[in-house]
Amino acid sequence: MNSTSHILLCIASVFLLTGSVACADDGSGLWLKYHRIADEARLRTCRQSFSTAVVQGDSATLRIVREEIKRGLDGLLDANLSFGEAIRQDGTIIVGTVQTSAPIRSLGWDTDLEKLGPEGFLIRSSQVNGHRATVIAANEEIGLLYGTFDLLRRVQTQAALDKLNVTSHPRIQYRLLNHWDNMDGSIERGYAGRSLWQWDALPARIDPRYRDYARANASLGINGTVVNSVNANPIILQPAYLEKLRALAEVFRPYGLKLFLSIRFSSPLRPARQAGSRRGGIGNLETADPLDPEVRQWWKDKAKEIYEVIPDFGGFLVKANSEGMPGPQDYGRHHADGANVLAEALAPYGGIVMWRAFVYDAKTDPDRAKRAYKEFVPLDGVFAPNVFVQAKNGPIDFQPREPVHPLFGAMPKTPLMLELQITQEYLGHSKHLVYLAPMWKEYLDFDTHAEGPGSSVAKVTDGSLHDYAMTGIAGVANTGSDANWCGHLFAQANWYAFGRLAWDHQLSAETIADEWIRMTLSRDEQAGQTVRLMMMGSWEACISYMTPLGLHHIMQAGFHYGPQPSYARAPREDWTSVYYHRADSNGVGFDRSSTGSNATSQYFSPVRERFDDVATCPEKYLLWFHHVPWDHKMASGRTLWQEIRRHYDAGIEYVKQMQETWETLKGRVDPEIFSHVQTKLETQLQDATLWRDTCLAYFQTFAQE
């Protein structure tokens, strides 16, 4: 047994001596359950600290603030919190802006608040009118809502509440979920049931889950949502659907959640004659050429129509000239031409364009990993000011592990929006427990050296490296109609982690895990340590039993779930497993070094040189950048083939350890949650074993050892 499993089991054994749980929980409450504080001493202290509240104003957002304070503290403190108009006793919560609250004006915090922007907030323990109070102050009402959720999080997670001095503001301006939801209710890469959006019932019927969804996002500081798939259906822009979207936007607005749309570039065209064609639109034009004056006017008219219905509409997300979707290259134009015609239409209203860099035209370069860089870097500085280039974290497609996308740092004149995938397309769907915050931290903390040492992807994304005029991060959502929202209870932690990192990318994966566990599963310290250790190693374990040492894209074609390392077909070789692993009797791996496709040249020095040399390339990326002999000596002293086998075995062992550890928590976490996770872990072990056995049997035919 290794040290990690020993710690897991020891902690779990101690936890068996602590209290039990008797309720049933279907997971629908997410991390906002507000269960009563069990520790009586802490409960008494909290009741003394929070006995009444003063929230001045009656806007929709401030009504939500009152509702959340009441709901949260009544549940956590088993109390009946009262609201007043003035501060008359100790233990008052005061919520307001300098503009609306005389008590807050009297505190003289104007200078501190000026630095926080429209969404930031302060939470401080203060004396107000001679009484001990907790003050939530902000410049705008949405900051007050974010501050309210922050304070409640601290109560839920048993953080210190005396002498509060919290200053918080988002490091990134646009913090969006991207839903890949289709108009028929299906979800591309969705593993938690059907779409949340019931288009047939809208706008007449507003499902209560819409408000729950907006509330959950506001609790994390997520401030935008793209509600439809990047493989967009143009009917979303028709007047009838704009009315449906208006209804959603009205639900979202008080929670600070702006509505965005994915659009099809060919929307100005007449409808396609052939059913299912992606080349048609909803207009009356014969072309969608972005330089055609009639096309430009069509988009201006459409933008005006949208903003008349949804005044705070956020903008467009665009997938163009990718996987059959139409785009400007159909007319001999480049990506900036396409993005700029949309940007021009949205600019008068403050809207933005998010133009995806997920393109891989085989004519651009034989190596798919190089294509986006080659298409977009020459256009740096050509895009309009309100255009993001939205790039995935890696250059291929949300693999269990990829090196950082070389675009980050390479476009100093064009704001880059980092696109992460919350839904587990290549990581076991909603069947595997895989906590993704460690993955995202690996990318955010990666040093590109674009401007010398310290040029992290986080600094590119938050604009501090290149002084971007706007900044953004997007997460491909994992929500659906399942009662627990995400299919797997632990997948909720990835939604949660995305929101927390989008607000503050300096948070650690461990801190975020601890918060989520205490808010969702248990506030018991021993239980928290047990579950956190399970979570923190789960991503590396998944890599080990799927694609260790830089292997990638060897999943089932299309479905992207189980292993299919033997998959090959012509002529689209860059869609196949054998294209990526290139196993033969000499070795395995894709040679992207200077002696191969030279993809390493797209990185900045010294990253370029480190990746280029098989002796210095990090082993976790080895087979991504190099075709390596089976008998190559690894850092461990084992051969490559021995190391591959060790990784596959280690991945399975970790899943077994998670199973054993989870079993020790029976009766100590909610029984419905326990049974749900227990079943998922059984499936995960079966799948991990299949991955190992399938991949090793296949590669054995080449390794011959």
Q: Give catalytic residues, as residue numbers.
A: 323, 397, 425
144 and 95 Cβ atoms separated by less than 8 Å: yes
637 dihedral zone (left: phi>0; alpha: psi -120 to 50; beta): left
> Which tokens sit at 233?
């259906």
Side-chain-facing half-sphere of 97: CA atoms under 13 Å: 23
Cβ partners under 8 Å of residue 101, min gap 6 = 56, 94, 95, 137
Cβ partners under 8 Å of residue 133, min gap 6 = 87, 90, 91, 92, 93, 94, 125, 126, 127
Burial string for 676-685 (b: 16+ CB within 10 Å, else e) reads bbeebbeebb
In whole angstroms, what is the distance from residue 568 CA to residue 704 CA? 21
> Which tokens sit at 534?
């399970």
Reference 592, options 366, 361, 393; nearest CA is 366
Calculate Rg over the CA atoms of the chain.
26
In whole angstroms, what is the distance from residue 175 CA to residue 686 CA? 36
Strands 352-356 and 315-318: parallel
Q: By three-state DSSP, how is residue 448 classified?
A: coil
The residue assigned the tokens 């279907």 is 26
> Which tokens sit at 625?
């950048």
In whole angstroms, what is the distance from residue 110 CA to residue 553 CA? 53
Dihedral of CA atoms 700, 701, 702, 705 in degrees, nearest 10, equals 50
528 and 516 Cβ atoms separated by less than 8 Å: no
Reference 527, options 38, 32, 1, 3; nearest CA is 38
In whole angstroms, what is the distance from residue 64 CA to residue 146 CA? 11
Strands across the sheet containing 82-83: 82-83, 52-55, 92-97, 131-138, 121-128, 165-168
Phi/psi for 150 (5° steps) reads -65, -45
Cβ partners under 8 Å of residue 254, min gap 6 = 59, 60, 61, 63, 64, 214
Strands 131-138 and 92-97: parallel
**Residue 92 bridge partners (DSSP):** 52, 133
Cβ partners under 8 Å of residue 240, min gap 6 = none
Per-position DSSP letters for 385-413, written without gaps between them? TTEEEEEESSSSSS-SS-PPPTTTTT-TT
Inter-residue long-range contacts of 321-325, CB under 8 Å, 24+ positions, other chains counted: 321/359, 321/361, 322/356, 322/358, 322/359, 322/360, 323/231, 324/278, 325/230, 325/231, 325/264, 325/265, 325/278
Query: What sections of 521-635 are H helices per DSSP?
Result: 525-546, 577-581, 607-612, 622-625
In whole angstroms, what is the distance from residue 389 CA to residue 354 CA? 6
Query: What sections of 485-593 are H helices per DSSP?
Result: 492-503, 509-520, 525-546, 577-581
Cβ partners under 8 Å of residue 359, min gap 6 = 321, 322, 335, 371, 372, 375
